[in-house]
Amino acid sequence: MGYYDDHYAHVRQKQKGNRGGTFLAGLVGAVLGGMLVIVSIPSLVKWDVLPYSLEQAEEKQTTVTEQPKVDKSVAVDVVTQVTKAVNKVSNAVVGIVNIQEASFWSESGEAGTGSGVIYKKEGNKAYIVTNHHVVEGASRVEVSLSDGTKVPARLLGSDVWTDLAVLEIDAKHVTNVAEFGNSDVVKVGEPVIAVGNPLGLQFAGSVTQGIISGVNRTIPIDIDQDGIPDWHAEVLQTDAAINPGNSGGALVNIEGQVIGINSMKIAQEAVEGIGLSIPINYAKPIIADLEKFGQVRRPYMGVELRSLSDIPAYHWQQTLHLPANVKEGVAILQVVPGSPAAQAGLREFDVIVALDDENISDVIALRKHLYNRKQIGDTMKVTFYRDGKKQTVTLKLAKQSL
């Protein structure tokens, strides 16, 4: 009995120990098997043989990553200060069509196109400012609105000196009116936008952007085309593209306010990006006179003039009898009978050297003093030389009659 008990206990202990060894051997085998699989996978991949489970996993991964292509284009509504400014003024910028009747030498038709700005709507009338040279010589004028509608226009007045003109149309066609800004506060480098019709109505409503390149520029203007400047236009300079057809259009600040009426560009070889615009503060009184009176009411002397620098030096002493030290001034070539100059006693061949004690060097300086500083009805002191002697008279400026 004791033997069997002892033997049975011994056998159980041995079996228990064997189970521990078997477990340990199995664990070691599993680890070695796993390592073998890991080591052998690259080789299997090389031969394109993978365990089914790995192939299946790759296929599943491929299926997940290959998504159907989707059009990601999105319509974007871009709104900037520039687009706001353009939207504010664009419908107030119109096309101007100059129509001339047939003559013996020509056929009737469009002589040219330009641009204009609707600046006022009052009662059943609307008013448009453009350039004098856009409507010059027109028998009829048509206005092409922003939607392409063409309406007849009446020319109220035009001024060659400032290159401005005012038209009138029926107000029922007008929905937008431009707002005038303040050109006196414009700064060099300030962004500006030009709106107009370059090269005709085909490109109506074109917008170009640039900056103010210069202020208070003076450009000589030869009005009678005799090769001698008659006037100095005071303009804003911009690098915003201004092309033929833009004349009369708007130069706009970033607030959508009109600060200039586009007038011209310097079109010389190797010159690019020099556009010129009439400052709106300078244009306002001209526009008001043209709208109300059909002309600019300027003070009038009643003389025909020529700058001393444009007269051969031989005549300075021989004809005008000037002292040798007088080298600048304006010679009177003709005095209109009954004019303020005639009433003050001025004569042919008198040489004006000062107005209101301000030295006058040439005709342009005289006109600027007369037109910019004097009003109709003002008195003006005139200093001049006659037969070598310096004299002074005072005349009362009048309104020029047409």
Q: Which residues are catalytic?
A: 133, 163, 247
To 5 degrees, how large is the angle CA 260–CA 264–CA 268?
140
The pair phi, psi for residue 232, each rounded to 5°, is -115, 115
Instruction: Give residue for tokens 């006109």.
Output: 367
Q: How many CB atoms lie within 10 A of CB 206?
A: 20
HEC secondary structure over 14-75: HHHHHHHHHHHHHHHHHHHHHHHHHHHHHHHHHCCCCCHHHHHHHHHHHHHHCCCCCCCCCC
Q: What is the DSSP string of 292-361?
A: HHSS---EE--EEEEEGGGS-THHHHHTS---TT----EEEEEE-TTSHHHHHT--TT-EEEEETTEE--
| 8 A C-beta contact, residue 165 and residue 158 | yes
3-state DSSP percent of the chain in helix, strand and coil, to 5: 30, 35, 35
Burial class of 128 by CB neighbour count within 10 A (0 to 12, 13 to 18, 19+): buried
What sign has the CA pseudo-torsion 391, 393, 399, 402?
A: negative
With a CB cutoff of 8 Å and minimum separation 6, the contacts of 301 are 339, 340, 341, 370, 395, 397
Please report which helix (H) or strand (E) contains residue 138, including its range.
none
Query: Residue 269 has which token pair?
Result: 């070889």
C-alpha–C-alpha distance, residues 358 and 192, integer Å: 37
What is the separation, in whole angstroms, between the first and last Cα of the chain? 158
